[in-house]
Structure 1
C-alpha cells in the first residue's frame, strides 16, 4: 500500500463498523462518510479483517479511504471569500 504522504490517516483516521447484515459504515471525524453494502461491503469487511489479522495498520486505513471514493484527495481548492 502507498504511504500517506501528508499523514492525514494518522492524525484523522477513518473509523468503520460492520453491522449484523454485513453493511460497512465508514466515518471520519465522528461523521458518517459512506455506507457500503452488498458485494462491495463483503469485500471491504473481509479485507479489513485480513489487514487487522496481519497487523497492517496502513492497510486498515487505506481500505476505508478507497471505499469512500473521491474523498480528500488533496487537490481541493479553498473557497476565497
Structure 2
C-alpha cells in the first residue's frame, strides 16, 4: 500500500461512513457527505469493509469508491469540493 498512498493522506483517516436504518450508506470525506450507496452496491461495500485488514485498507476502499483520491481533491479540506461532487 506504500506505493498507493505516497503522501500518507490515508493515515489521517479523512473518510468515514454512516449506515441508516434502511441500509443506505453515506460516505463522508472530511465530514462532508460525498457519496450515497444503496442496495447491492451498499452490501458489496460492507462486505469489502469487513474483509479489510486495517483502518488504512478501509480508508483506501472508501477513497476508491468516492473517486476522490489521487486527483488532487484530497489536498485540502478548504478546496472547492462542491464543483467536484456536482459534476461541474
TM-score normalized by structure 1?
0.71
Say how many residue pairs are matched.
Answer: 73
d(CA) in 2 for partners of 1:12 and 1:45? 18
RMSD: 2.3
- 5+ residue gaps in structure 1? 77-81
TM-score normalized by structure 2?
0.67
**Which 4+ stretches in 1 moved above 3 angstroms?**
none
- 5+ residue gaps in structure 2? 74-88
Tell me which of 48, 52, 57 is aligned to 2:55.
Answer: 57
**Cα distance, 1:57–1:3 mapped onto 2, change above 3 Å:** farther
Partner of 1:34, secondary structure, is: strand
